[in-house]
Amino acid sequence: MGAMGSSALARLGLPALRLPAQSRPGWLRVAALGLAAVALGAVAWRRVRSRRHRQLQQVGTMGWPGRGATGTESGAPTGTRTRCAGAARRRISLVSRGAGLVSIFYEKNSLIFSAPGMDQLVLPSRLPSTNTLHDCRIFGVDIQGRDCGDEVAQWFTNFLKTEALRLVQFDTKMKGRTSNKLFPVSVQNYQVAYPDCSPLMILSEASLGDLNMRLEKKIKMEQFRPNIVVRGCEAYEEDTWDELLIGGVELKKVLACPRCILTTVDPDTGVIDRKESLETLESYCLCDASEHHIYKSSPLFGMYYSVEKIGSLRVGDSVYRMV
């Protein structure tokens, strides 16, 4: 939604995190995988509350792939007390036009990076506390990140053939960005690390199916990068769910997800179409006039959710609407 950073990070569809002038050598850019925020430990959280006694209505089951996911349904995405959005840790893809794809998957408490012409790179999911902390900025809001080390920085710099880049990781001891700084219209009080405005975005298979019926060339779920895919519901039914229970995780709807030109990037080739599926979405997925001050002219596809109660979830879990 926001303006993307320049250079190779923009081609990856990731924000460029810049160190403040007083602390960065030259034009050093700190690259945080915004798309992989949860994969690297970025979370959003709210005060844990006791589950209220309410009726549960099953609306579907949790599917896969998750946010920016590639590959097959290998490994059940799980959450922990501070990483209930762990569905995005398993596997993501980063798009780099012309350079190919960077794939990341999670195995044995490590993130494994691979890319064409590059040796695999293994990064432990937990970094030493002695690693340097950087003051970063995403979409105009300050946040910290712990440096992932020189080897990782050199790996990305070599692959992208660009200026020096560094990867940073968020941990729960750091202060996240507050919701009212990300979306002034938000009435919820929560913190989020590197994602746009919320840790989770949910989209149903039926909604994608309906969109594909309107397109000449079918597109994949990965193009929209949801954290959670719901199977077995009606198209756009996810727009009506206010609060959900999946596994041990309680979620609350925040906003609809406004879509930008990144939805026109083919996740397999990195080629950007600049038209579809965005133009088709604009033909039938615009907001009501009463919400124009929130979404402007962006089409809406999928829903953002905050985490009300942290827990675990995995592929195949029933998705319940709490009423």
- Whether 181 is covered by a domain: the verdict is yes
Residue 287 domain flag: yes
- Which pair of structure tokens corresponds to residue 222? 């990965």
Contact in structure between 93 and 223 (CB atoms under 8 Å): no
Burial of 11 (0-12, 13-18, 19+ CB in 10 A): buried
pLDDT tens across the length of the chain (323 residues):
433 333 333 333 333 333 333 333 332 333 333 333 333 333 444 444 445 568 999 999 998 754 433 333 333 333 322 233 333 333 323 333 344 577 777 788 888 888 888 999 999 888 888 899 999 888 888 888 999 999 999 998 898 888 888 888 888 788 888 877 777 666 567 788 887 778 889 999 999 999 999 999 999 998 998 989 999 999 999 999 999 999 999 999 999 999 999 899 887 777 888 999 999 999 999 999 999 988 999 999 999 998 889 888 888 999 999 99
Q: How far apart are CA 96 and CA 81, in angstroms?
A: 33
* Alpha-carbon gap, residue 255 to 294, rounded angstroms: 9
CB 203 within 8 A of CB 221: yes
Residue 74 placed within a domain: yes
Q: Where are the alpha helices (DSSP H) in 121-170?
A: 150-160
Residue 299 lies in a domain: yes
Determine how β-strand 165-169 pairs with β-strand 29-31. Answer: parallel
61 within a domain of the structure (yes/no): yes
Counting the structural domains of the chain, the total is: 1
CA-based nearest residue to 19, from 237, 197, 168, 125: 168
Structural domain includes residue 51: yes
Q: How far is CA 123 from CA 87, 150, 155, 173, 255, in A?
A: 18, 11, 11, 20, 33
Domain range for residue 302? 7-322
Cβ atoms of residues 65 and 228 within 8 Å: no
Encode pLDDT of 22-37 as tens digits.
Answer: 333 332 333 333 333 3
Residue 1 within any structural domain of the chain: no
- Let me know if residue 2 belongs to a domain: no
